[in-house]
Amino acid sequence: MTEAVRLLNPDGTVHPDERYAMPDPAELRARYRSLVLGRRLNEQAGALVRQGKLAVYPSSLGQEACQVAAAAVLRSGDWLFPTYRDTVAVVERGVDPVEVLMMLRGDWHCGYDPATHHVAPQSTPLATQLLHAVGVAHAATLKGEDTVVMALCGDGATSEGDFHEALNFAAVFGAPVVFLVQNNKYAISVPLARQSAAKSLADKGIGYGVPSALVDGNDLAALLAVLGEAVERAASGGGPTLVEADTYRIDAHTNADDATRYRTDAEVDEWRPRDPLVRMRSYLGLSGDEFRDDAEELAARLRAGLSTESAPDPAELFAHVYATPTPQLTTQADLLRAELEADEEPA
Ligand SMILES: Cc1ncc(C[n+]2csc(CCOP(=O)(O)OP(=O)(O)O)c2C)c(N)n1
């Protein structure tokens, strides 16, 4: 698998592909708005970290097309399984952006109600969410539902055992899962060449008997077409798909990472002209001012929502871990409560 599916060239001109139709311009305009908001969210979250309002933020700047497309192709009953880097996808799915950032502020395990939104908590352990995604998808099949699950991971996560178990199970049981691997070229400081000897990560899906595609991950139109087709196939009983998105992380891994230690400015500069926003904007013939007010409104909401001091109840640490708490968790919760009460007693 060498040629990535592409519908738009980096300069916004059409790159015809006989297998995939160009999505409708009205849909592209709506999704372009999401790209603009996603970019603003990435920038504002970075600023909030610098102001001490967020503990950490793994930016998806440069990867917004993958983020928007992953959520946009899902139907209301479908599920999204995101990672720590997929905040923009979670917001595109309809979750309140302030709630999403609660986890990264350190207030909550999650910040939103997964069941309400059909969005699993953003996973920090690499690739564990892929097994959970497959489990939810298989359970839906057993219940006779046509639910589709979109499972996101990075290139580094494909080196984890869980990735391989998830693909194998999904293939054997025909689980309705779409695996989207955002190949942003680095697992923190480890380049892809030191993660995998395969020519493409999409080839890994083929080994398991999973239909797989390599897509230009900075081309929103191509992502919508390929992921949309994969969701349709899964919903109609056609089983899993793996999509590798060829993209690049423009920012550092997180604010705690110094990317200059493992990559050159020249390499980053090579990717800048492939910006997914600029490409879609050129295709749609927009000036760049469109949706600016919406983006500023989002940024203002984030600033306001994260400027208040929160006082989370420590007992909530134990809530939602299991539907029925284990005896060990109950003991730990009791110990914590006793310690907190002892601290409150006057000396
Ligand atoms: C099981 C596990 N091992 C190690 C880590 C530490 N870790 C956090 S992010 C990361 C790199 C992940 O890279 P990739 O999967 O390419 O995703 P990206 O961060 O580039 O989106 C590692 C090794 C972890 N979170 N979980």
187 Cβ closer than 6 Å to some ligand 1 atom: yes
Distance 282 CA to ligand 1 centre (A): 34
Same domain, 333 and 257: no
181 Cβ closer than 6 Å to some ligand 1 atom: no
**Atom number in ligand 1 closest to CA 157:** 15
Residue 215 falls within a domain, yes or no?
yes
The answer to whether residues 113 and 95 touch, using CB atoms and an 8 Å cutoff, is: no
Residue 333 falls within a domain, yes or no?
yes
**Atom number in ligand 1 closest to CA 195:** 16
Residue 291 falls within a domain, yes or no?
yes
User: From atom 11 of ligand 1, which residue's Cα is the shortest distance away?
Assistant: 187
Same domain, 267 and 338: no
> Rg of the Cα trace of the chain?
21
Residue 327 falls within a domain, yes or no?
yes
What is the number of domains present in the chain? 2
Same domain, 273 and 184: yes
The predicted structure's pLDDT at residue 344: 82
Same domain, 210 and 305: yes
Distance 85 CA to ligand 1 centre (A): 10
Same domain, 101 and 139: yes
Distance 159 CA to ligand 1 centre (A): 10
Same domain, 294 and 322: no
Same domain, 156 and 289: yes
The predicted structure's pLDDT at residue 308: 86
126 Cβ closer than 6 Å to some ligand 1 atom: yes
Expressed as residue numbers, the domain containing 329 is: 313-346
SS3 for 46?
helix
Distance 160 CA to ligand 1 centre (A): 10
**Atom number in ligand 1 closest to CA 160:** 1
What is the Cα–Cα distance from 281 to 269, expressed in whole angstroms? 20
**Atom number in ligand 1 closest to CA 184:** 20
Residue 242 falls within a domain, yes or no?
yes
The predicted structure's pLDDT at residue 347: 62
Structure letter (DSSP) for residue 4: P
The predicted structure's pLDDT at residue 309: 81
CATH number, residue 30: 3.40.50.970
Distance 283 CA to ligand 1 centre (A): 34
82 Cβ closer than 6 Å to some ligand 1 atom: no
- C-alpha to C-alpha distances, 24 to 15, 29, 213, 252, nearest whole angstrom: 15, 9, 22, 34
What is the Cα–Cα distance from 91 to 172, expressed in whole angstroms? 32
Residue 8 falls within a domain, yes or no?
no
Distance 102 CA to ligand 1 centre (A): 21
SS3 for 246?
strand
Same domain, 170 and 250: yes
User: From atom 23 of ligand 1, which residue's Cα is the shortest distance away?
Assistant: 187
Same domain, 328 and 211: no
Same domain, 214 and 324: no
Structure letter (DSSP) for residue 185: S
- Rounded-to-10 torsion of CA 269, 53, 294, 182: 40
> Please, which residues have CB within 8 angstroms of residue 216's CB and are 6 or more apart in sequence?
4, 5, 6, 222, 223, 245, 246
What is the Cα–Cα distance from 147 to 143, expressed in whole angstroms? 10
Q: Find, among 70, 80, 69, the residue nearest to 280 by Cα.
A: 69
Containing 156, the helix (H) or strand (E) segment is: none
User: From atom 21 of ligand 1, which residue's Cα is the shortest distance away?
Assistant: 154
> Please, which residues have CB within 8 angstroms of residue 117's CB and are 6 or more apart in sequence?
90, 93, 94, 95
Active-site residues, by number, are: 249, 253, 262
Ligand 1: residue of 87, 126, 192 to mutate (most ligand atoms within 8 A of CB) is 126
Helix 292-305 × helix 25-50 angle, to 10°: 40
Residue 123 falls within a domain, yes or no?
yes
Q: Output the six-digit token pair for 271.
A: 């990717």
125 Cβ closer than 6 Å to some ligand 1 atom: yes
245 Cβ closer than 6 Å to some ligand 1 atom: no
Cβ of 21: how many Cβ atoms within 10 Å? 11
- Strands 149-154, 177-183: parallel, antiparallel or unpaired by DSSP? parallel
Residue 20 falls within a domain, yes or no?
no
What is the Cα–Cα distance from 219 to 19, expressed in whole angstroms? 16
Same domain, 208 and 308: yes
Instruction: Supply the pTM of this predicted model.
Output: 0.95
Per residue of the chain (347 residues), give pLDDT as tens: 679 999 999 999 999 999 999 999 999 999 999 999 999 999 999 999 999 999 899 999 999 999 999 999 999 999 999 999 999 999 999 999 999 999 888 888 888 999 999 999 999 999 999 999 999 999 999 999 999 999 999 999 999 999 999 999 999 999 999 999 999 999 999 999 999 999 999 999 999 999 999 999 999 999 999 999 999 999 999 999 999 999 999 999 999 999 999 999 999 999 999 999 999 999 999 998 999 999 999 999 999 999 988 788 888 888 888 889 999 999 999 999 999 999 887 66
What is the Cα–Cα distance from 8 to 261, expressed in whole angstroms? 33
What is the Cα–Cα distance from 34 to 27, expressed in whole angstroms? 11
Same domain, 333 and 224: no
